[in-house]
C-alpha cells in the first residue's frame, strides 16, 4: 500500500469512530439539556443511552471519582482516537 493513500478499510474505521464520537457528544449534550418530554426525545435518549452507556460505563468503573465531574466521555473519545491510530499503523505496516 502506498503511503499517503487511505484504504477503504481505514475510511470505514475512521467513519465508524467519527459516528460513535458524535453519538457520545450528543449523549452528553442531551444529558445537560432539560427538554420537555416528547415521544421522539425519549426515543433518541433511549437510543443514545443503549448505544453509548455500556462503553462509558466501562470507563466510569476505571476512572476515580473526580468530585462529581464525569470525565468518562472525554477519556472514551481519546481512547477511540488512540486505538484508531494504532489500527492505522498496523494496517499500513502490512
Q: Per residue in 33-82, pLDDT tens? A: 988 889 999 999 999 999 999 999 999 999 988 888 899 999 999 999 99
pTM for the model stands at 0.88
- Residue 50: phi and psi, rounded to 5, are -65, -30
pLDDT of residue 46: 96
pLDDT of residue 35: 87
Nearest to 70 by CA among 33, 42, 39, 32: 32
Domain-located, residue 3: no
Confidence of residue 3 (pLDDT cuts 50, 70, 90): low
Domain of 46 in residue numbering reads as 8-93
**How many domains in the chain?**
1
CB 94 within 8 A of CB 7: no
Would the CA dihedral through 92, 15, 54, 34 be positive or negative?
Answer: positive
Domain-located, residue 1: no
Amino acid at each position: 500500500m502506498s503511503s499517503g493513500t487511505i484504504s477503504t478499510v481505514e475510511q470505514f474505521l475512521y467513519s465508524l469512530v467519527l459516528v460513535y464520537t458524535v453519538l457520545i457528544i450528543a449523549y452528553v449534550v442531551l444529558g445537560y439539556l432539560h427538554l420537555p418530554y416528547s415521544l421522539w426525545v425519549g426515543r433518541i435518549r433511549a437510543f443514545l443511552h443503549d448505544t453509548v452507556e455500556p462503553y462509558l460505563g466501562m470507563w466510569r468503573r476505571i476512572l476515580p471519582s473526580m468530585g462529581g465531574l464525569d470525565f468518562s466521555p472525554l477519556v472514551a473519545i481519546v481512547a477511540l482516537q488512540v486505538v484508531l491510530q494504532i489500527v492505522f499503523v498496523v494496517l499500513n505496516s502490512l
